[in-house]
Every structure is written in structure tokens, then in C-alpha cells.
Structure 1
Amino acid sequence: MFPDRHQPIKQSWERSRELGVERHRAVNDILKGGELKDRQDNLREFFQATDDILEHLFLQFKQSEFMVIVSDSDSYIVSAWGEPPFSERAKNVWLDTGANWDESVKGTNAIGTAIFEKKPISVVGDEHFCKENHFLSCYAAPIYSPTGELLCILDVSGDARSHHPHTLGMVVAAAQACEARLTLQQTKNELTLALNENNLLLNEHHQPLLSVNQDGVITRLNRQAAKMLGQSIQECIGKPLSNWFQEETDEILSSNGYSSRVVSLKSVENDKQTKWMVHAVLDNRKRLYHGMVKPIPRRKSKNEIDSHFVSECEKMKKALNIAQAIAPTKATVLIQGETGSGKDWVARTIHNSGGRNGPFLVVNCGALPENLIESELFGYEKGAFTGAHKEGKKGKFEAADQGTLFLDEIGELPLASQTVLLRVLEEKHVTRIGGHRPRPVDVRIVAATNRDLPVEIQKGTFRSDLYYRLCEFEIRIPPLREREDIPQMIDFFLEEMANELEADYLYLDDLGMKKLTMYHWPGNVRELKQVVRQACYNAFILRKSRVISASDIDHPQMNMKQGFLLENQEEKTIREVLEKTNCNISESSRLLGISRTTLYRKISQYESLKNLKKEMKRKEKKK
């Protein structure tokens, strides 16, 4: 009866019949007000920790007939986000807050079946046991707590006519991001007592983390630590550190307060020892050791220096939080942003935080000639074409095995190459040009573009299925003109240049800082960095000065009328906009194309603007 059904669906149908579920007349189990609130309260910390991840997932489906649902471990829906008309149709079958979607109530469905199977699953159309649910396509993935217990189910449901196989991958990626966030959140809470005392612990949240009691027995750990130890979370909890490390537990955690020592991991593979560094913190109130285990740090390359910059811009912080949360997952990521806004930096952050052992390779899809793109990406066999190397050549996919491949300017990729790329992403095998042997590759894909890909899809220049495959997670990078942290970024670039030029320090005077912060930066971070570098050369090399002045900033665009406003022009422009909006800061900042923080800072610079609101009120009273 199920020739085309997947085995889990078939088995779920059999269970549904055994449970006595009626296909033609579904029975509903709806929570009362107090019961629903209790179940929602049980997941309050989950929602607080993952709110931005769930919001991002919802926004990805907002314009389509889909809704995002979270159920608890008993299949009761505790939260649902959706918009008409689909949300109204969903309510007709009680796909809504308070309803129980266990298999014993609703038969085969994504939520109940995912709970039973303990793994992600999609249930589309007539795969649902109850006929009234045949209009649905549902995709669900379980979310586990840091201690390995089933916490809840994340589900995306929509019209069966809108079914797309990549949707389940997006749900799985979001679920994995939620799990990573929960682990890091709990670990961060455990380390709170140490944060003000030792900055070494501040930026290590994506390394393997574990906690042990005073006897050296593991009380909790994250998935990275479990992977490092070679067992599941449940198998590790309750076991002593000595099961995995050659050193005795007392030796590892020998010092009070803070300790840092190298330890050797007992290897199960070829008797190979792996060296790790352990930082341990003693909480005198709870008598718990919180161990942070990380690889011995290596010297960073110049390409990794930018990762040390901590952005003060809220939009950028949000983008980086998403990047770091999804880094441990295998989800593909699409980074959207203007040219020069730092998409490559975010891509490298994902790679560095993800724990992959292979290299980080970059391919600029817009810079390669069309006839060379496929050979560059997928490689070629000897004699594949005129001018080919005699021995053939591996492509970027093979070279990036076990690492990350950053496909910059993906919107420039020709349609023919898009088709081949999609096949490689789906099959995880690459076949060189002129060859016939598929070669397995394990590559994390991060793509970036400054184009609006949905618009390109409508134009027919970009494949929709490739877009969905690349966009399991989307990160938007704000342009520099919308960021509030330009002064901090300038100081960071000055530190870089001081190190490069072997100067004790380099300092930008107030007029120079004002000149840089007033410019609109069409070239974004890349342009700013280049301007700062040139100014440092002008001051330190030509003038032999460590103090950089406005005259050292030699940028022709800043002297053009449309590029750089003199102070009286800026003051006049801001005043006109404030008067137009009746001093509404949000509306004014939008019209000026700057952030609220930047506008407040500029208002404080000019005496005539500080009391503008009072002046306008006095004028209004006189009328």
C-alpha cells in the first residue's frame, strides 16, 4: 500500500491504526488556559535564548504560506507564528497554540512522528494519516537540551502545493542553531562568576565546553566536547575526566582560582595523542569546577586579524551572533550585503568558530571568466581541454575538503554553472571535467552576494532551487553608513597599522575623526580601511608623525559636494530634517540615512540643535 512511502511514514501509519486514530474524523485535544500557560512557562528560558533565531526563521517564510511552530516534548503546540490566509486554514484543523499533535491524537504528522522517531522528518500532503490534514506540508526537527533530553519540536508547516525538499534542511539548521545557543547560554551562565576576573574566557564559547564537580565527574558538556571525547552527551555525563585524559583529575584541576595547563587526550584512533589546553575556574560557593577545554592556540595569520574586532553596532552584533550560533552546524549560509561591507570577514568568522579542520578557501564567482568557472570549482582530468595541466587539477571543492568554501559574488554565477553547483551540493560528490569518477567531498558552503537574489530569480538569471539550497540561513550585513561603531573601527585599523609600521601608537585627531565619521562610505569597510591605511602612511612615513590629521586623509571623493558635507552644511541639513519631522529622532535618522545613535551624537555637536525642540514648542505656543 506504500510503494513510494518512506519507511518512517509507513511505520507511523501502522502505529496510527493500532492507536485507533480515525482517518475521516479527527479528535482534538486542546489545552485549557492555565494548562497552556504552564507548558509555555516550562519553555520560557528556551524562547528567551533563541528568540532571534526563531524570528529569523519566521522572516524567511513570512512572504509565503508557511508558519513556524514550537511544540513541547508531549506534542502540545506552545507557540505558533503565521499570517493569513494560511494561518486561518491551519486553525480549522487545530494547527494552532494549545493543540496536541501526538500520533495518538492526529496520526502521522511531522510533530508527533518526529517525537517518536527522535529525528527530523517531513510529512507532505496525503502522507498525513488524517484526511483533513492532506492540504499540509510539514517539516519538523527535535531540539535537545544541553543534557541530551528532548526539549521541544521546531516545525514549519505550509500548503502542500508549496512543498520544497530544502525546507526540512532549513528547519534542521535552525534547530541546531537553537541547541548551540542553549549550550552556550548555559555555559555562559555557569562561567558568569569568572567573566569579570579573567578575560581569557570571554571569547571561547564556541570551543568544547564542559563542567565537572569537585570530584572531577562531568556534570554537563556541549556537543563539541562530546564529539571531542568521542561519545554522546548522555554517555559522558557522570563519568570522570580520567576516562579521557591521561593526566589525573587532581592534576588537571590542581590550582585554586584559575589554572591553565596542557593535557593529553587518550586517543582511540591509532593511539594518537591529542594535546589540549584546559582553563579551570573554581566557584567557592557551589564548589564546582567549570572546565573550558580548547586546542592549544596557534599563531594567527594576517587574514584572521579582523576576527578580533568586537563590533559595537547592534545590527552587526546580531549578524555575528547568528554567524557564531550556526557555525557548529553544517547549514549552508547566504550572506547579503553591499560590496566592501565585510561579508568575507563574517564568512571567515563562521569557519573559525565552526571547528572544521580543513582550509578556508575563497572563490570570487564574478572575477572568473565564464569558460573557466567550472574547472576552477570542480577541477579537471588530464587532457580535458587544450591548455590543461598534464596531470589534471583538483578544483576548489576538493581542495576545501573538511573545510569551508566561500563563494563570493554568487549572484554572478552563470546559469549553466549553477546547475552543476546544485548537483554537487545535493550529492556531496564532485566529478572533474573530462572525468567519470565521483569524488566525495565534505565542504561547508558559505555564499555571499550584493544582489537581490529573489529579484534575480524573477528575472530568470538565478535558479530558485539553488537559492533555497544556499539559503538555509541568511545573514544580512549592514552598510557602513548605518553603523554606529565607525570610531571604534577606525581605532582598530590604527592599531593594526601601528603594529605593521612598528610604531608605539598612531592617533587620529578630532578633526580627522570628524571628517571620517561624516563621510557616507559607498565602499563600506573596505574603503574605510584603505583610507585609514593611506592616512597612516602620509603621517608616519612622509611627515614622521604619530598624530594623523585631517590633511593626511587624502580622499578625492570627500571633497566632492555629494560626498562630504562641510560642518555648516551638515548642521543645516540636520536642522531642516528635524524641523520637518517635529524632532522625531527615528523618522529623522531614517530620512538622513544614519543611525539614531549617530544622529544623537551629531545633535550634541551643535549648540543650535541641542535646544531645537524647545524652540519649536515656544513657536507653536505663540501661534
Structure 2
Amino acid sequence: MPPQSYVSHIKEIEAFGLGQPMHGGSRDEAVLGSWRRCLDHHRLDPARTCEAVIVPEGQLRQHQEESEPLIRIARSGLERLYQQLKGLDYVLLLADRHGVAVDFLGRDADTGDLRRAGLYLGAEWREDRAGTSAVGACLATGDALIVHQSDHFDFTHTRLSCTAAPIYDLRGELAAVLDLSQLRSPEERASQGLALNLVVAAARRVELANLMAQSRRDWVLRFSQSPDFLDVDPDAAIALDAHGRINAMTHAGARLLAAAARLDWRQRHALIGQPLERFFQFDARHLPNLRADRPAQQRIVRACDGRVLFAHAIEPMRVLSPASRPVTPAPLSSALQALSAGDPAMDALLHKAARLAPQNLPILVQGETGAGKEFLARAIHGASGRSGAFVAINCAAIPESLLESELFGYLPGSWTGGASKGRQGLIEAAHRGTLFLDEIGDMPLALQAKLLRVLSESQVLPLGAREPRTVDIRVVSASHRPLAELVQSGQFRQDLLYRLNAAELHLPPLRQRRDLGGMMDRMLVDLGSQHSLGEAARAMLLAHPWPGNLRELNNVLRYAVALCGDGPQAGAAAWECVIEPAHLPDSLQAADVLDAGPSLLPMDSAAGLDAAGGAGGRCQPGTVVELEQLLAQCHGNVSEVARRLGVSRSTVHRRIQRLQLGVRCARWSKRPS
């Protein structure tokens, strides 16, 4: 805009503030009300411009966690609305009750412009921070509205056209704002009329979905002015407790109740807890007559203000009493069961994975190298019920120049050196199955943008193709690097991160697991041998820190089995080869020698034993008596012993081995703590 437009914009707001007549009188009352609050209440200066405020990632995460249930429910509705507006350059924002954008849908090509304009994740749109905007004015008034171009108080935002509708929670409190915005739009304000209708309808459906999800144990009564839309797209809904009192409502439901009783809908305390007959000419005894087994045209109700509506009553779900309800975790498939030998933290993670497996949520698996991320991803796919293939790709192992063609495929003749018949991409190969993207943190930024498009639109465009192909994939990604830190350093897209980690699973490293011994025994069985671990070798393996995790453990056991031998010839009596320290790799034995000193701790650490409740007198640290007493007190819990002594678990395990306390340690570990 030319400088004169800036000057005229400031003069118009200043004239309004002084009470002078408006030129043309074309401003909406909601806009003028916001201007008045900006001037009188927030003390904003219209001549002082300010670019959009984007909150730091940590603060954004807090806002997202607070709004997580609503974001999850709203997501499908937002994606459907965004698809309806495809090609019209609209951006969808879901802002929380603080005015911070906690979810976002927009074109990848416009990312830079959208971020600068504040149409992006983490943008803060409260009136006191950004002046008049659709989100801020909606939060202030509780009404759906349009703030079009120069309606904005801050000149920085006057090229935007924004339309917003409130989303209320079940108690009638304003919980979020759904905003539909454009960077470029026609000058006529009336051009946003359709956007207003769409965003209001979308907000209504989100409220209805939220009420249905949280009122499964209540009667739900849905209303419509038309019997034809009653069961498919109702106008309003309320929930009733067992005594027929109002327990929850959508925003339209609150307005309906308030109108019926001639109350102000903002007086929520006058609605919640009131009996149904306060608002309608029937009570809870008539609810069974309004179920869907009767034609919609016959389910007529009359409100106390005389309005005639059609109603649909949905019965509460039958829930077992706490005494009779079986408290059982999600069943584990054999593939999931094989990933743990009894570690509590790992078992809890696997039960969470079992519940997530049938869902279509993208999952991000974080864990150290070798911790079993791909094994977990394969197990999730096996439990998902998806008919397609499990397709894995290591984003760090394929050259950047080939990664795009591997992921998206290419048509014949797309590039020199390609297959003459072209090639199907791995994304397409995972159609109706699971695409596992290992080391996703190493994916180039340019490809991250293309992957984001695949996830948002469920379409893939092979190299050389003009028309995209629809794909149905479930994405499981993994990384040993914290992706949040990569976002901070600019190496990973923030919007892609939030698409990938709808559910996040953190695999514990092997050194922190309590089932290390069980995993060793299970791996030996899986190797198909009759080998077992001797006590000394077991102590050495338990003492090792395992930086390579399960992969390193598997390699060590395969090496030990090979050196231990295959036993007697065929036909001989049953025989078992015992793996001893000499059968273990040299690297483990070298590490053991490095810690071969005569004492568990230096002499000046003996006081630490006394403080921890160790031997009564000052014994020489590292003696059998001292360590035996401390092990007995900790019931064989090596981690607790290490914590009291201020040393590592591996140090304690090595000393147990040298002092030949392994058998007694195992006996103590069986005692109740």
C-alpha cells in the first residue's frame, strides 16, 4: 500500500477515538467495538506498528498440551474444511483461549509469508498484543465475525482478511477460536460472507464432536429445525445427567436454552444444573420416545418459548461398575511381547503402542541407536490391521540426490540413469500399509516440505508426473536425535514435527532397563542354540553400559556362541555349553580390566557408606562384608546400591563378580522390598 494509505488509516482511527463522524460509516460494529477497546482499554497507539508475535517453542508446547484434547477432536474437521477450500489460498488457524495459534493448515509455498503475517503456529493474536484481529475480537466478544483488511487496528495486518468463530467448551466457556484467513483477498468485505458461514458451521461441528466424546455416560439430546438433517447434522445439542438436569451443551445449545427460558446465554450458571422441564414442555421420562428408532418427523418437541423443534435422544453408554469392570491393559501381539522381558517401563510403553496401533495416528519413536526402533515400528504395523506392506527407509543411509526419487518414485525418462520403465516410490509402495521413516531428522529440508504435503493431502507426485496419486499410508518415524532441538537450530520444520508426533514413544536405552538379563536369555534362545551364560560372564554383561543397545548385545551373544562351540556330535546326550568370560569379545574384557582395582571406592569415600546405612564400622571399602551388607539392605537392587555409593551400576556389577556375590545377590533380589 502507498504511504498515503498508512496515513489515512491512522487518521481514521484517531478520528474515531475523538468521536468524530466516520467517513461512509461502513465499519462493522464489532470492528468499531474492538477499536474502542484497543484505544481506551489496551492503550494501543495506531501509529505504532508491530509485526506478528510468535511465541517460543517451549511456550507453544505448553499451550498445545493444555489444548491437546480439543486439538485432537478438531483436527479432522479442520482438515475437511481445508480440503473444501483447496485452491482459494485460505489458511486455517486454531487459537486457544489465550489467543495463541496451536494448530495450523496452510500452503507450504507460502510458509515464509504466512509466518511473517502471523498466520502460523505460535502466533499470538490477543487484542492487547496485536490490536483488532478476528481472533482477538472473537475472544473479546464471544461472537463470530469478520475483520477485513483495513478493519485491522495495526497497519501491519491490513492486507489480511480474517474470519473467526468461537468454540465453546461443555460448560459454556470460550475455549478456542477457529480462524479462516487470506493473505490476498478481494477488496469487498462481502467476499468473506461464505467464509463466515463455513467457519461457523465448522466450529459448531467441533463443539458437537467434543460433547459426544465427553458425554458417553449421559443422555444426549440433539436438536434441529429440520427433520431431514436431525440425525446427520443437528443444529444444537445438550447433555443430561441421570436426574434429567443440564450437564453440558454446545454454544447453540446454550442459546437455545437461554431463549426458551428468556435468559442471557452468557449467564451460564443459570443453565447448567437446571432440569430439562425448565426449558421444554417435557421431562426426562419422555427421552426414550425421542430415540432414532422412530421417524425423525415424529420426534417433535416444544420449547417453553413456543418454538417447535425436532429432537434426537441418544442413550448413555452402559458402563460396568468399578467393582466388576475388568482392569486389563491392552493385549499385546506376539511381536510386541518379544520386545520386553519384564521391564516395567518397557511394558507400559508396549501397552501404549498396542492401543495406538489400530489408530491412524502418525507415531514418532525416539531412542538411542540400536534401541529397537524399527522392531517396535514393525510390531505396531503387525498389530494395526492394515492390509498393505511395511516399507522402511533410512533417511540417513540414502544419498540426498537419490532420496527424493526413492520416496516419490519417477516416470520413465525423468532423469538420466533412471530405470527405463520408471520406478514406484516407497511412499506409494506403502499404500494401505505403514511407511517407516528411520532417522527422519536427517531428511533434507526441501524434502521435508514435500513430505508435509503428502501427509496433509494424502497424495504423492512422482518425479516427471503431472497428476498426483492418492495414497493411504500410516507413517511411523524414528530418530535418535531430539527433533525439538533440530527445530530450534533450523534443521527441521516445526509444522512437520507436529504432523509426525501425534503420538510419541520414547524407547529406554538398554542400560536403564531392568530386564537386561531376561533379554540376554531370550536372545540366546532366538539364536537356536543350547548355550547359557555362566555367572561370571552374566555379571560382565550386566555391568557393561551397552552404548549400542540391543544391536550391540545381539552381536556380543552371537560372537560368544560362535566361540563357545556347538556342543557334542549329533546323537550324543543332551548337553549345554556355558558361556564364560573368555568367550566374550575382547572389548568387554578390556573394559573389565580397567576397573580391576582392589576396592569398590577410594578410602576417603568410606564415610559415604556410613551415611547410606552401610556397615556399622568403617570397613575397608570393597570388602565382602561391607558390600554384602549393603546388598542385603537394598534387597539385591544394584541400582539402589550404586545410588547410595555414588558410583555406576557397572562398577557395582563388576565388584559383585570379583567378590563372588552373584548367587547371594540373586537370592536377595527375590525378597520383598
TM-score by length of 1: 0.50
> Relative contact order (C-alpha < 8 Å, sep 6+): which is higher?
1
**Which has the greater radius of gyration?**
2
